[in-house]
Structures are given as structure tokens and as C-alpha cells.
Amino acid sequence: MTLQGVVQRPDGLFDVVVDGRVVAGAVGTNREAWRAYDRATGDVVSPSEKRADFAFQRSLDVKVKEPVTRRPPMTVAQIEAGRSPKGGWTAKTLRGWGVPWPPPKGWRRKLLKGEPVARNAK
């Protein structure tokens, strides 16, 4: 006789076992595990479960964008304090502020607004 069903792991997650082999592992809840078991064995699923499963599968397909890290806005005094003795800004100072070298047009305005400074497309 082979094992079939849902088995809880020591870490609290659930494995779905069909014909003695794990077909879905690390399922978060018992309910989700039994739904995965029903799908794996081809059991009839109600229309509401079909809609819920479709929505769940769609949510897995959504690509998550990485959050854009925004720097706090700088002040004019901070930008002026970063000047070198010759009167300009060094590449190292600009790199620390997230500004590429050579600095693109409008980089100071973007720093004052707290916006990321990117190289202008040519």
C-alpha cells in the first residue's frame, strides 16, 4: 500500500504525497495542501474553487518590481559643501551621491528633489 494524502512536516509546512512520492512540497496551509492534492489526483473541483485557483495561479504569474530606493533630498548647502578645492565636484563625491561621471544635465536639481540621477539616453 502506498501513502497518499497530506503530510505535515516538522517545520509546520505540508507535503502532498500521491502514490508514495511528493508532488507538492512546502505548502503553507493544510487547506492549500488538500487543494493541491485534489488537482494532482484529478478530483472534481467546484466552480468557486476553480475561480479561486485561477486567481491564485494568476497571482503567482505577477512579476514583482523591485522598490526604487529614494535618497532623502539634499540641500543646496550640502551640495556646495561637496565641492573640491578647485571649485568642482570629484567623481568620488558624485558617486557617493549616486550621480554618474560625467554628471548628466540637471543632476543638482534631481538631488534637491530626492530623485535618482541616471545617465541621459543618447
CA pseudo-torsion sign 55, 61, 64, 65: negative
pTM over 0.75? The answer is: no
Residue 92: predicted pLDDT: 93
Question: Is the preceding omega at residue 102 within 30 degrees of 0, hence cis?
Answer: yes
Grid coordinates standing for 39? 488537482
| 38-58: pLDDT as tens digits | 878 877 667 777 777 777 777
Q: CA 98 to CA 14: how far, in whole Å?
A: 45
Amino acid letter, residue 116: P
